[in-house]
Structure 1
Amino acid sequence: MNQSVIKALKLLDLFTEDNEELTLKEISNKADMPKPTAYRLLSALESCNFLYKTKENEHDSRYRLGLKLLELGQIVSDQLELRGIALPDMEELAQEINEVIHLVIVNQNEATYIEKVESTRALRLYTRIGKSSPLYMGSGPKLLLAFLSQEMQEKVLGQGELYYFGSHNPIDRKSLKNELEKIRQEGYAYSIGEQDADTTGISYPIYDHRAQVIAALTISGLSSHFDGDNLTFIKTKSKKTAHAISEKLGYRGAGFGS
C-alpha cells in the first residue's frame, strides 16, 4: 500500500467546520510531519484540485478544501439518492416476477452494480453490490454503453481484444456496435449467457430530469424463465418499473422500448 497516498489523504481529515483554512505550519504540526514533507503532499493534493492555496508568502501558505471534493461528494450523493428512490420499486418488481433485480451505473470505463434485490429462487449470479464489469458485457452494462457518447464508446471499445467471460473467441466489434445501435433504437437491452452461464438479462434505461440515461434497471434469471408469455410479463413489468423510477427522478418524457 502506498504510504505517501495514505498520508496525503489523511491531511484532508485535518480540515473541519472549525478549521476550514489551515496554514502549512498548522498542518505540519497537526500531522506531526516535517514542513517539507507536508508541503510536498499538499502540493500533490492541490494539483488534483483536492485543495487550493488561498495565500502564499516566503514564511507560510494557507489551504482550503478544493472543489474536486464537492464534485465527488455530489456524485456519491446522487448515487445514494438514486438507490433510495429505486429500491422500493425494485423490491416490488422482484415480488411480481421473482427474478434478481439490479441497478447499474457507469463508473469510469466500467459498469458498477450499486443495488441488488434477490429472488427466492436458488440462483447464484456473478453480480453483487459494488461489483464492476466491462461495459460491453451483459444487458445492463451494454445498455449504458449504448447511451454514452460516440467518443466514450470508442474509448471503451478501442483497447485490445474484447472477450465475454469463459470465451476464447474475441467479440466482433462491428456486430457489437450494431447491437448498441439496436439498443438505442429499441430502448432496452437483452443478453444471454454473457456474465453467467444459462442466464438471461434484460435491461431498461432509467432517466433523470434532464432526460439523460443515468442507470440501467436489470432483470436476471435462468434463461428457461425468459420465454413465451413469461418473457412478455417480465418485459412489461420491468419497463413500467424503470419508467416509474425515472418519473420519481423528474423525467417527463417517453423513450421506453417495448
Structure 2
Amino acid sequence: MNQSVLKALDILDLFIKQHDMTLSDISKKLDMPKPTAYRLISALESRGVLHKQKYSEHDIRYTLGLKLLELGNIVSEQLETRKIAYPHMEALCQKINEVVHLVIIDQFEGVYIEKVESNQTLRLHTRIGKRSPLHIGSGPKLLLAYQGQDFIEDYLQTSHFSNVSEPFSMAAKSEIKKEIAGILQNGYAVSYGEQDAETIGISYPVRDHTGQVCASLAVSGPTIRFFGERGQQIQEETKKTAQAISKDLGYKKREDI
C-alpha cells in the first residue's frame, strides 16, 4: 500500500480531535520529519483538503479545507438516498421476489450501494460495493445514458472492456450509443447475460429533488423468470417503485408542480 497516502490520511485523522495545527504540531504528533510533513501538507492544501491560515510570519496554521465539505455532502446525499430507498426496495422485493439493487455512478463505474435479496432457490450472488463499467449491466448502463453527451464521449475514449488497456472499437462505440438512445427513448434499461450468464436485469431511473438521475433501481434474476405476465409485472412494479423513491427524494414531475 502507498505509504505516502497512508501518511496523508494520518495527518487528516489528527484534525478529528484538534481543529487547527501548525506544521510543528503535525510533525510532533506523528513523529514525522518536518520536510516530509510539509510535503504532504502542501499536497493536501493544493487539492483543497487542507486550508492554510497565516496569522503572522511565525504563526501559520492548517485547518480542514472546503473540499472535504463537498465530499461529505456527496456521501451524505448517497446515505440519504439509501435510507429513503431501502423500504421501497424491500416492498418491491416482497412483491416480485427477485433481487433488488440501488446503483450510483462513481467516475466511470457503477457502484451497487444497496441490495435486498429474494428467497428464491436459484438467485444471483451479488454484493453491496460491487463495481461495474458503465456499459455493462442495466443499472450502470442507465446511469451512463443520463450523464449527457460530453460525459458519454469521454467515457468512450477510455479503456474499460474486461479491464484491459484497449480502447473501445468503433463498432463497440456505435453499439453503446445505440443502446443509450434506446434507454433515453424508453426510459429504462435492460441487460441480457452481461454480468452473469442466462440472467436479465431491468433498471429505472431514480431522480433527486433537482430532477437529475442520482441512482438506478435495478432488479435482476434468471431470464426464465422474467417472461410473459410475470415479466410485465416485474417491469411495472420496478417502474412504480423508482417513481416512489424519486418522489420521496423531492422530485416533482411537471404535472405535479
- Give the TM-score of the pair, scaled to structure 1: 0.91
Distance 2:30 2:134 in 1: 41
Is the 8 Å Cα contact of residues 123 and 221 (structure 2) preserved in structure 1?
no
State the distance in 2 between where 1:208 and 1:161 align.
28
**Residue aligned with 1:195, SS:** coil
How far, CA to CA, are the matches of 1:106 and 1:126 in structure 2?
A: 21
User: Which whole-Å CA distance do the structure 2 matches of 1:97 and 1:196 have between them?
Assistant: 20
* Counterpart for residue 158 of structure 2: 159
Shift of 1:126: 5.4
Aligned 8 A contact 1:189 1:203 in 2: yes
In the TM superposition, 1:56-205 aligns within 5 A as 59=58, 61-125=60-124, 127-160=126-159, 162=161, 172-205=172-205
Query: RMSD over aligned Cα, in angstroms?
Result: 2.1
| Whole-Å separation in 2 of the counterparts to 1:26 and 1:163 | 47
| Contact 1:24/1:60, CA 8 A, preserved across alignment | no
Taking the aligned partners of 1:254 and 1:218, their CA distance within structure 2 comes to 25
- Assess, with a 3 A threshold, how the Cα gap between structure 1 residues 41 and 94 changes in structure 2: closer, same or farther: same
**CA shift for structure 1 position 162:** 3.5
Which runs of no fewer than 5 residues in structure 1 stay unpaired? none
Match for 1:29: what amino acid?
A: K
SS in 2 for 1:215: strand
Superposition deviation, residue 123 in structure 1: 3.4
Could you report, residue by residue, the CA deviation over 1:89-119 in whole angstroms, capped at 9, with x for unpaired residues?
A: 0001001000010000001110000001111
Mapped to 2, the partners of 1:135 and 1:219 lie a distance apart of 17
Counterpart of 2:14? 14
Change (3 A) 1:219 1:13: same
- In the alignment, the residues of structure 1 paired with residue 63 and residue 162 of structure 2 have an alpha-carbon distance, to the nearest angstrom, of 45
Change (3 A) 1:254 1:141: farther
Looking at structure 2, the residues matched to 100 and 57 of structure 1 have their Cα atoms a distance apart, in angstroms, of: 60
Alignment-derived partner of residue 222 in structure 1: 222
Structure with more of its chain in helix, by fraction: 2
Residues 1:69 and 1:123: Cα distance change in structure 2 (over 3 Å): farther
Mapped to 2, the partners of 1:230 and 1:27 lie a distance apart of: 62
2: CA distance, partners of 1:236 / 1:203: 11
Matched to 2:227, the amino acid is: D
1:52 Cα offset (Å): 1.1
Between the aligned partners of 1:207 and 1:39, the Cα distance in structure 2 is 43
Q: Distance in 1 between matches of 2:113 and 2:19?
A: 32
Partner of 1:237: 237
> SS of the counterpart of 1:13?
helix
Moved more, 29-38 or 199-208: 29-38
Q: Which residue of 1 aligns with 2:25?
A: 26
Query: Which residue in 1 is equivalent to 2:212?
Result: 212
Deviations 1:221-242 (A, max 9, x none): 1101111111111111111100
What amino acid sits opposite 1:132 in the alignment? R
The answer on whether the counterparts of 2:138 and 2:201 sit within 8 Å (CA) in structure 1 is: yes
Aligned length: 250
Match of 1:45 in 2: 44
2: CA distance, partners of 1:127 / 1:157: 26
% identical equivalent positions: 57
Q: 1:164-186 CA distances to partner (integer Å, 9 max, x unpaired)?
A: 9xxxx976321220110110111
TM-score with structure 2 setting the length: 0.91
